[in-house]
Amino acid sequence: MTGTHIKIESNAEDVLGVFSELSRRAGTQEPLWKDVGEHLLLSHRYRFDLAISPDGKLWEPLDPDYQRRKKRRKNDILVLDAFLRDQLSYVAGQTTLEFGSNRIYAATHQFGDDDRNIPARPFLGISDDDESEILRLAEKHLAQALENATASERL
């Protein structure tokens, strides 16, 4: 993806164990990653509406000069035409998920640009709540894979 994106990886043994077992039992994690992608679309939209980063910090307010020049949505941060907020997307693979924006200016807003006096306003990332939900989704998919494997063994 052009712009900026996040890649979900984990070193936590409990998460890796669930993913490994899911791959072993189901053969692919793609259905899980699709569910995670859908969750991330919702959680990122929620945080955009609150103007907060994944770690719960409020985004820096708009520069007053820019706010006066802004043509519409004068009080909304990172939302002029809503492309950055409304066009986040994901690509779910067999073992990975990429999530982000194809907007070239996405990286500028995520990381900031000192030369242009644009502060970082991180909008991409995994919150603690997201992490818990991802683990819950992984456990749900693992339970389904175990149930399917058990049902197959009975036949």
Per-residue pLDDT at 10 exceeds 70: no
Q: Which of 16-20, 68-72, 92-96 has the lowest mean pLDDT?
A: 16-20
Per-residue pLDDT at 127 exceeds 70: yes
Q: Averaged over 105-132, what is the pLDDT?
A: 95
Mean model confidence pLDDT for the chain: 85
8 Å CB contact between 110 and 2: no
pLDDT tens-digit map of 23-34: 666 667 889 999
Per-residue pLDDT at 16 exceeds 90: no
Name which of 36, 61, 27, 67 is nearest 140 in CA terms.
36
Alpha-carbon span 106 to 133, nearest angstrom: 25
Per-residue pLDDT at 12 exceeds 80: no
Alpha-carbon span 4 to 109, nearest angstrom: 10
124-106-31-28 Cα dihedral, nearest 10 degrees:
-100
